[in-house]
Structure 1
Amino acid sequence: MERALSPDLPTPRSATLLRRLHAVVGEWLRNARTRRQLAELTSLQLADLGISPSERMREISKPFWR
């Protein structure tokens, strides 16, 4: 007996794609947030973390998707 797919329920493949999309967008949001926070740190805070000003600039210059 063949089961008809309901249009209201995602197929296993589309559910997997939705989960992956959700994960990717979450990663992009984290990247943007942490880079914004990194940009706001003072030089003393950077030194405490062992991050040079040039390392900070290199990181905050990246697009959110990388």
Structure 2
Amino acid sequence: MAHHMQTPASHLAYLTAQNRIPAASVIALRVAVVLSKWGQRRRSRHALHQLPPHLLRDIGLTPAEAERESRRVFWRM
């Protein structure tokens, strides 16, 4: 028996279509997910900015590349 795996987004769409989750709740959840991703990016970029050159080399980045990435705004991938 094949089991169809749903993504979180498709599952939310299904539940909303079935009137099991109000649309406002879906919107609030999506906003929370976006804010969480933005926070993680901000923390990751700050941590990258703090790494010494020898650790940057270990992950394959030059100090200039790390600096450029750490200066990117959190809402950009």
Structure-1-length-normalised TM-score? 0.78
Indicate the structure (1 or 2) with the bigger Cα radius of gyration. Answer: 1
Partner of 1:4: none
3-state SS in 1 of match to 2:73: coil
3-state SS in 2 of match to 1:16: helix
Q: Percent identity?
A: 32
- Counterpart pick for 1:23 among 33, 36, 58: 33
Mapping 1:1-66, distance limit 5 Å: 12-66=22-76
Aligned residue pairs, count: 56
In structure 2, what is the Cα distance between the partners aligned to 1:28 and 1:15? 20
Partner of 1:5: none
1:23-52 CA distance string (max 9 Å, x none): 000011001100110001000000011111
Structure-2-length-normalised TM-score? 0.68
In structure 1, what is the Cα distance between the partners aligned to 2:68 and 2:29? 30
Can you give the 5+ residue segments of structure 1 that lack an aligned partner in the other structure?
1-10
In structure 2, what is the Cα distance between the partners aligned to 1:54 and 1:47? 11
In structure 1, what is the Cα distance between the partners aligned to 2:37 and 2:51? 21
